[in-house]
Amino acid sequence: MWVALKGRLQITDRMMRWNNSINTECVMCNEESESCAHLFFGCRFSENVWRNLAGGLMPDMFTTDWSNLIRIVSKPWLTPIKTFLLRYTLQAAMHTIWCERNARRHGEDPKTMATLTQLVNKNIRLKLLAVKGKGNYLEEGLITWFETRLDL
């Protein structure tokens, strides 16, 4: 995530500086040119994954705008548990979308939006189970996560 925030990911809009003949079309949606803001979460594909994961955590503040999203997760809001969940969800979603993007760029079969959503959901649940015994703060995390699920 830090690399993405610093604009250092090897996204096609950046790689065009070295090679003008590269295909800049987003491999997730095949509709627009790939950029960091588009890939995370302007693309209809990644937007859907993000909405399914974070829509319940931030119902009144939900956004797919890159700069607004970074501003929201940079400051604590609501409860500490929801802040932790939102930040971890963002990191896990970005990692999963980046891995899927790379897999598609290298010729692997594409995964569906539902599959990616399930992968991130499982990753978050496993993280919460791993830290469950560390006090009430994170024990409530799993309960809060299930309460905010829109796709279950």
Contacts of 63 (CB under 8 A, 6+ apart): 69, 72
Query: Tokens for 95?
Result: 């990692």
- Residue 141 · residue 81 · CB < 8 Å: yes
Provide the 10 A C-beta neighbour count for residue 113. Answer: 18
Contacts of 5 (CB under 8 A, 6+ apart): 70
pTM of this structure: 0.83
Amino acid symbol at 141: G
Segments making up each domain of the chain, as ranges: 44-147
Per-residue pLDDT of the chain (152 residues; tens, 9 = 90+): 767 666 666 676 666 666 676 677 888 898 888 888 888 888 999 999 999 999 988 888 889 888 888 888 888 777 788 888 899 999 999 999 989 998 998 999 999 999 999 999 999 988 888 775 556 666 788 888 888 886 54
